[in-house]
Structure 1
Amino acid sequence: MSNTLSLASMSNSDLAQVLFSSGLQASDHPSPEQVRTAIYACLCACDGDRSICAALVAQEAGDHPESYAARMRWALSTVSAAYAAAA
């Protein structure tokens, strides 16, 4: 899977779902490069199948609804910053 090719067609929302399902945490205060690396690694672990990440997000929302919204807000803002920095 090519990093540029696979991520180029993904929206910030798609990328945030992948980040959400990664092990990266807001408390890690990740750099933009760490965010991009975590997203790429997560996609590789799922063989590029974004639906696996989406399923993990849905499961987390069901299991921990109290923290879902805050984590998704973090993922969305972090992805926006990480990919703006790469542009």
Structure 2
Amino acid sequence: MSNTLSLISMSTSDLAQILFSSKLQASDHPSPEQVRTAIDARLCDCDGDRSICAAFVAQEAGDHPETYAARMRWALTTVSAAYATAA
């Protein structure tokens, strides 16, 4: 299943939540292509269900509240840049 069509209808916030729940880290200094690939892979891991990814975000926020805000800011900024490049 390709998630390309479903990704088109997602907001930056939706995509950032999916990136947040992926294994990709800011310290990896990922390229825009790596970000898009990680988001697509993570969405596939969640069977295309964004609510599953959102649940992982909530769990991570509860488990590591001290790093949540910085990671989410990174995810939002990174998604914005990665999808602006793709446009």
**What's the TM-score once normalised by structure 1's chain length?**
0.97
In the alignment, structure 2 segments of 5+ residues that lack a partner are: none
- Is the counterpart of residue 35 in structure 1 residue 35 in structure 2? yes
Size of the alignment, in residue pairs?
A: 87
Runs of 4+ in 1 over 3 A off after TM superposition: none
Alignment of 1:12-31 (within 5 A): 12-31=12-31
Aligned to 1:76: 76
The share of aligned pairs that are identical, in percent, is 87
Which structure 1 residue ranges, 5 or more long, are not aligned?
none
Partner of 1:59: 59
How far residue 6 of structure 1 moved from its aligned partner, in angstroms, is 1.2
TM-score of the pair, normalised by structure 2:
0.97
What CA RMSD, in Å, does the superposition of the two structures yield over aligned residues? 0.7
- What residue number does 1:50 align with? 50
The one-letter code sitting in structure 2 at the alignment partner of 1:5 is L
How many Å apart are 1:69 and its aligned residue? 0.2
C-alpha separation between the residues in 2 aligned to 1:43 and 1:50? 7
